């Protein structure tokens, strides 16, 4: 079968499987979304039980389609999901799930995608240098430092950084994406404010993930440096720079790119912890709050979206990969 067709089929299988899983898991759980809403109403003293409550329950069930047989619910869920109609938030009815998602998305992408890409670039370059015999010896002295940091979960490092730079030294904000009281708009002062808020979370991601990329790159680079085409490149009298970039790094990067696809895809789900620690209003924060308040449709929508981002980034890399590696059959 054609390479592209195979990849596309794989993509749809993953998306449909993910949607299905998303449908099943919450229904396996005890507890009930309407129950959660009722509890909240009771807590606020808005409901006293009895007939009135039953009516509310029935109304809710009808509105969310919970009164229909399961397979009908499933089909409806599937078609809606594939049309990217993710339903309404229960906690913030009638807000649409996809609207909340798109509001949160730029923050997550801005913070996590950028820091992941930076970390990939730095890490791969350093890793390649570490394996390069003619690199300055100092390069390898950084290795243990970044290796140890790569073992530390970024949000734990984040907490320490916040304490030092925001609480003790008061140099940077404690959390959030921008100062409270400012209104997001396209303007230099706001942009600087956003960058100031992004420094600590980005730094904690960068410091803890550079080592991972460096280690992976060093491994593949060591393999590539032993290949015959490197000997021939050197025999040809090419400059060290040209051999390093066009021959060694160019080949050693290939497996790294596959890892990058997965890393970029998991950016969104990995965002949960960093966004909770830093009070950052992205997708992870949205999911966390939806879980806390048992906001069924929001949780479903966000998880589906997270799977979708992974599937999309894997697909994109799969489609780009033949351009990077001509050996892949198209």
Site pattern 19..58 for other proteins (x: CB under 8 A): --xx--xx-xxxx---------------------------
User: How far apart (Å, rounded) are the C-alpha atoms in residues 242 and 234?
Assistant: 10
User: How far apart (Å, rounded) are the C-alpha atoms in residues 306 and 112?
Assistant: 13
Give the 3-state secondary structure of residue 1: coil
Residue 126 Cα to chain centre, angstroms: 24
Return the sign of the alpha-carbon dihedral for residues 319, 320, 326, 328.
negative
CB atoms within 10 A of CB 174: 14
Instruction: Give the one residue of 131, 206, 298, 317 binding other proteins; rule: CB under 8 A.
Output: 131
Position 136 contacts other proteins (CB under 8 A): no
| Whole-Å CA distances, 242 to 222, 238, 246, 256, 328 | 17, 6, 6, 20, 24
Position 109 contacts other proteins (CB under 8 A): no
Position 262 contacts other proteins (CB under 8 A): yes
Interacting stretch for other proteins, rule CB under 8 A, among 41-49, 98-106, 148-156, 193-201?
A: 148-156
Instruction: Give the one residue of 269, 278, 289, 317 binding other proteins; rule: CB under 8 A.
Output: 269
Position 327 contacts other proteins (CB under 8 A): yes
Position 234 contacts other proteins (CB under 8 A): yes
Q: How far is the CB of 109 from other proteins (least distance, A)?
A: 15
Interacting stretch for other proteins, rule CB under 8 A, among 57-65, 105-113, 187-195, 243-251?
A: 243-251
Do 76 and 66 touch, CB atoms closer than 8 A?
no
Interacting stretch for other proteins, rule CB under 8 A, among 40-48, 49-57, 107-115, 283-291?
A: 283-291
Q: Got the DSSP string for 225-254?
A: HTSHHHHHHHHTT--HHHIIIIIIIHHHHH
Partnered with residue 88 across adjacent β-strands are 96
CB atoms within 10 A of CB 320: 12
User: How far apart (Å, rounded) are the C-alpha atoms in residues 287 and 154?
Assistant: 19
Position 291 contacts other proteins (CB under 8 A): yes
Of 48 and 239, the one with the shorter C-beta distance to other proteins is: 239
Does residue 87 come out as left (phi exceeding 0), alpha (psi in the -120 to 50 range) or beta?
A: left
Position 270 contacts other proteins (CB under 8 A): yes
Instruction: Give the one residue of 148, 191, 195, 320 binding other proteins; rule: CB under 8 A.
Output: 148
User: How far apart (Å, rounded) are the C-alpha atoms in residues 140 and 135?
Assistant: 9
Position 18 contacts other proteins (CB under 8 A): yes
Partnered with residue 96 across adjacent β-strands are 88
Token pair listed for 302: 């966000």
Of 29 and 138, the one with the shorter C-beta distance to other proteins is: 29
Residues 182-221 that bind other proteins (CB under 8 A): 218-219
Position 129 contacts other proteins (CB under 8 A): no
Residues 152-181 that bind other proteins (CB under 8 A): 152-153, 155-156, 159-160, 162-163, 167, 174
Of 193 and 275, the one with the shorter C-beta distance to other proteins is: 275
């Amino acid at each position: 079968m054609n390479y592209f067709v195979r990849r596309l089929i794989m993509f749809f299988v993953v998306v449909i499987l993910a949607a299905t899983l998303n449908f099943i898991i919450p229904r396996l759980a005890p507890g009930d979304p309407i129950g959660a809403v009722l509890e909240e109403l009771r807590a606020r003293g808005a409901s006293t039980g009895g007939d009135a409550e039953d009516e509310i329950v029935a109304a809710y069930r009808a509105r969310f389609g919970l009164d229909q047989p399961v397979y009908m619910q499933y089909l409806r869920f599937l078609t809606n999901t594939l049309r990217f109609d993710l339903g309404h938030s229960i906690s913030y009815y009638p807000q649409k799930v996809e609207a909340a998602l798109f509001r949160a998305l730029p923050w997550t992408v801005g913070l996590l995608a950028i820091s992941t890409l930076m970390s990939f670039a730095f890490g791969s370059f350093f890793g390649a240098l570490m394996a390069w015999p003619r690199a300055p010896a100092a390069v390898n002295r950084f290795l243990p430092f970044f290796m140890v940091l790569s073992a530390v979960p970024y949000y734990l490092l984040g907490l320490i950084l916040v304490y030092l730079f925001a609480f003790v030294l008061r140099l940077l904000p404690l959390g959030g994406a921008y100062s409270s009281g400012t209104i997001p708009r396209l303007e230099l002062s706001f942009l600087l404010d956003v960058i100031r808020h992004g420094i600590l979370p980005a730094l904690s991601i960068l410091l803890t993930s550079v080592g991972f990329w460096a280690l992976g790159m060093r491994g593949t680079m060591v393999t590539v440096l032993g290949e015959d085409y490197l000997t021939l490149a050197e025999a040809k009298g090419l400059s060290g720079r040209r051999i390093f970039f066009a021959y060694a790094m160019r080949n050693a990067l290939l497996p790294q790119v596959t890892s990058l696809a997965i890393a970029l895809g998991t950016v969104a789900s990995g965002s949960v912890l960093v966004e909770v620690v830093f009070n950052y209003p992205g997708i992870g924060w949205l999911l966390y709050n939806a879980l806390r308040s048992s906001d069924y449709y929001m949780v479903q929508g966000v998880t589906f979206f997270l799977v979708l981002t992974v599937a999309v980034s894997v697909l994109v890399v799969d489609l780009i990969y033949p351009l990077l590696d001509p050996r892949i059959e198209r």
